[in-house]
Amino acid sequence: MMQVNFLDFSEQYTTIKDEVDIGLKRVFETGSFIMGPDVKDFENSFAQYCECRNGVGVNSGTDALYLALAALDVGVGDEIILPSFTFIATALCVSYTGATPVFVDVEQETYNIDSESFKKAITPKTKAVIPVHIYGQAANMKEICEIAKEHNIKVVEDACQAHGARYEGQRIGSLGDIGCFSFYPTKSLGAFGDGGIVVTDDEEIAEKIQMLRDYGRKGRYDHKVKGYNSRLDTVQAVVLAAKLKYLDEWNQMRADNAAYYNELLAGIKGVKIPLIKDNRTHVFQTYAVRLKERDRICDQMKDKGVGVLIHYPIPLHLQEAYKDAGYKKGDFPVSEQIANETLSLPMYPHITKDKIEFVCDALKSLV
């Protein structure tokens, strides 16, 4: 029986293997494992890719978000607005600062933060909003940035799932005040371990994050602020630099695969295929459909040899970790509905057509 894994990056590895081997050999031979020119070069390349002036490598997407908020002096007494339908790290970074995460609902069609709900949640304490470009499609950045500007609120983009996506032609990560990316291995641009980066046009913020990620130092033992140890490893920078050259090509392959899924699944009763809004690209970090009997179908897809996952089964306002915030079931009906209906299908650049056909046949037989 055919088996389709949720992810398979073996062909990606074949593509970059030689370049990675050469780069790693250099790092191992010189013994220069922390910072140095490889990290700097990658930071510059990635910032340029995002059409931003500065890039600061850090050790994860979570830390990218946390250090972005810290650089904006977010702390106790502040409120940060974010969608309830996202990965928990979007909220954890707020909690680390001592500020209060304020959850809002998302759009039915894109699963991204709903701008009306964002507007309604603003109070005099609101310091920033974190739109998440969920699954790889940009949030409604024009409206979000306009509302934020009107209320003097900073926009920190959680771009951890959308490397390379565009909104009205512009790269995500460059639309708000700060863009935050994860290089967790399963991301469209994934390291061989943990990693992340912050991009921004603001020199002052970039400088602050450079200090914060490196013990708060300016000179070797000259510490200006109480910083952290959150740097991007040189080994990871070498891997990421090799992969970055292929990112647009791989994103196009993902988009083609998504189009083939859409073609095969369009019109199947009981399957809602993802919608791409005008003026945006979707880089399909995740290809998710919506199903009424999601849990049954999820189990049966696995029985049929298809690797599927649920991103995400519990919206943040209903997570045990946030029970102290006092939200209840029914507070964000769209987020709750999506959490009950969404199912992620196998998606990676080199997935073959016959594998996509196998997945779609399996799904059709179950709905």
**Residues between 190 and 249 that touch ligand PLP (CB under 6 A):** 194, 196
Residue of 80, 55, 86, 48 whose CA lies nearest to 196: 55
Token pair of 178 as six digits: 């700060």
* Residue facing ligand PLP at closest CB distance: 61
Residue of 33, 152, 158, 146 whose CA lies nearest to 106: 158
In the bound state with ligand PLP, the residue whose beta carbon lies nearer, of 132 and 339, is 132
Tell me the three state secondary structure of residue 282: strand
* Residue 29 Cβ vs ligand PLP, minimum distance, rounded to whole Å: 29
Asked whether position 281 contacts ligand PLP by CB under 6 A, the answer is no
Q: What is the DSSP string of 82-111?
A: EESSS-THHHHHHHHHTPEEEEE-B-TTT-
Whether the bond into 312 is cis, omega within 30 of 0: yes
How crowded is residue 78: how many other Cβ atoms within 10 Å of its Cβ?
18
For 145-211, strand residue ranges (E) read: 154-158, 166-167, 170-171, 178-182, 196-200
Q: Are 343 and 293 in contact (CB under 8 A)?
A: no
**Residues between 30 and 89 that touch ligand PLP (CB under 6 A):** 60-62, 86-87, 89
Q: Which stretch binds ligand PLP (CB under 6 A): 154-162, 256-264, 321-329, 337-345?
A: 154-162
Tell me the three state secondary structure of residue 235: helix
* Residue 153 Cβ vs ligand PLP, minimum distance, rounded to whole Å: 19
9, 49, 184, 250: which one binds ligand PLP (CB under 6 A): 184
In the bound state with ligand PLP, the residue whose beta carbon lies nearer, of 193 and 305, is 193
Asked whether position 286 contacts ligand PLP by CB under 6 A, the answer is no
**Residues between 122 and 141 that touch ligand PLP (CB under 6 A):** 132
* Residue 184 Cβ vs ligand PLP, minimum distance, rounded to whole Å: 4
Question: What is the Rg, in whole angstroms, of the alpha carbon atoms belonging to the chain?
Answer: 20
In the bound state with ligand PLP, the residue whose beta carbon lies nearer, of 134 and 297, is 134
Q: Which stretch binds ligand PLP (CB under 6 A): 116-124, 158-166, 244-252, 335-343?
A: 158-166
**Interface residue list for ligand PLP (CB under 6 A):** 60-62, 86-87, 89-90, 132, 158, 160-161, 182, 184, 194, 196
